[in-house]
Amino acid sequence: MKPSPANLELSTEAMLRMGEACLRAVVKHIAELPHSPRSNLENIIEIAKSLREPPPETGADFDTLLRFLMERVIPVSINTAHPAYMGYIPGGGLFPSAIATFLSAATNRYVGAWYAAPAAARLEANVLDWFAELMGYPKTARGIMTTGGSLANFSAVVAARKHILGDDIARGTLYASDQTHHSVMKAAMLAGIPERNLRLLPPDKNFRAIPELFEKAIKGDLQKGMQPFLIAGSAGTTNTGAIDPLNDLADLSKKYSLWYHIDGAYGGFFNLCDEGKRKLEGIERSDSMVLDPHKGLFTPYGCGSLLVKHGERLHRAHVLSADYMQDQFTPEGEINFTEHSPELSRSFRGLQVWLPLKLFGLQAFRENLAEKLRLTQWMYQRFLEEPGFECLAAPDLSVITFRYRPQRGDIETFNRRLLENIVKSKMLFLSSTLLNGAFVIRVCILSFRTHQAEVEEAFKIIKATARELEKTTIKLK
């Protein structure tokens, strides 16, 4: 008689013990965040190499594994949950969303097909309906939760391609500013649009799209026998946070009967607050838009979304069935997510948005987003007032691009060293980009943990580091 396989089911006591140990570790980590390094990137190549190992044949103690993760793995990173993390696009990582992810994974409900978990599917659909209402979309809108903006952009391009081009995709052309997130172009290529058909057009001096250049390119392609099918606008670019002229691009798409897509992954949720809504006027005129809750709603990474104004177009682009799926059904008024996205197997992803929205209410998020706009303007004014600093554009949302002009030496070399010194201090984390070929440093203020005190401290660090570096540079000369 063959021996029984190892028992993978844990006892009630073991599950409680593991859960409590994990919860204590996480709460301790969050409580100590303000005093922890903003980044820990020293010797990372050696550390990564040291962690290579063969697959384990036998098990290990959970407490040992938990200590290993919390002490040797998680700290070796950019501390994106820290209130002084202002690089790239912060999100924050709401604790209730983490609890929601645990509940979703532990109960393991399949939310791809409506009939497999109809109540869970309805809650996720509620979240998407709320998004549509907040963005000014009609009741015909449908959406999907994704892992992020990249996959959301992919499904948007697929829907546009299907609706405008059908099967004749070789001549399809797409139009975007060269400040548009590269995931839009990547999505187009993955959707079968030839790379040579992507028109990336230069922006204006404020790094916003220029509609006149779009129209010129569209006319030129029409004369060549190409088939323009999509205009992509940005509701907050990653580089500078610039908002494209959304209404003008909407007029252009209507004039030439093109699909109008807006990448609002970073900036779209600012539409919740009054100032953001004013800045994003025209966002509701798009045919589709991407929104990332793991940015503007502060949820943990891995939570994006797509809205399509006429939901049936999203459905037509993705629906496909098989004999083994014949048991499922979807009543009128409900949504089967497998027929609206590339995914079949998927978790109860919308729970990590539903729970914090229900727990805190929309007003809490409105106030936090409005605060980020105020904090950005405060820091921007400090840069304008402080000798030596210059900003390359006025911020539309919560990104500031700046550099320091030293009295001597090469400006790019100085600013590269300035950023390097700021990050090495572990007191603040910023990032960089290139604008018109020039190296600049980026500040992005978006975490729900970042408030006036953190922004004031960040500016002090930037200012002091620049002054010290300039002194050192002058002495070396």
3-state secondary structure 6-47: CCCCCCHHHHHHHHHHHHHHHHHHHHCHHHCCCECCCCHHHH
Dihedral sign (CA 268, 273, 276, 278): positive
- Residue 306 · residue 152 · CB < 8 Å: yes
pLDDT score recorded for residue 324? 67
User: Helix, strand, coil proportions of the chain in percent (round to 5)?
Assistant: 50, 15, 40
Asked if residue 424 lies in contact with residue 472, where contact means CB atoms within 8 angstroms, the answer is no
Is residue 376 a contact partner of residue 383, using CB atoms and an 8 Å limit? no
Q: What is the Cα–Cα distance from 276 to 448, expressed in whole angstroms?
A: 16
Q: How far apart are CA 308 and CA 159, in angstroms?
A: 9
pLDDT tens-digit profile, the chain (477 residues): 777 888 899 999 999 999 999 999 999 999 999 999 989 999 999 999 999 999 999 999 999 999 999 999 999 999 999 999 999 998 889 999 999 999 999 999 999 889 899 999 999 999 999 999 999 999 999 999 999 999 999 999 999 999 999 999 999 999 999 999 999 999 999 999 999 999 999 999 999 999 999 999 999 999 999 999 999 999 999 999 999 999 999 999 999 999 999 999 999 999 999 999 999 999 999 999 999 999 999 999 999 999 999 999 999 999 987 776 777 778 888 899 999 999 988 899 999 999 999 999 999 999 999 999 999 999 999 999 999 999 999 999 999 999 999 998 999 999 999 999 999 999 999 999 999 999 999 999 999 999 999 999 999 999 999 999 998 876 655
Q: How many CB atoms lie within 10 A of CB 233?
A: 32
Whole-number Å distance between alpha carbons of 36 and 426:
9
Q: What is the distance between the alpha carbons of residues 157 and 342, in angstroms, rounded to a whole number?
A: 12
CA–CA dist 132, 136 (Å, integer) = 6
d(CA 443, CA 223): 43
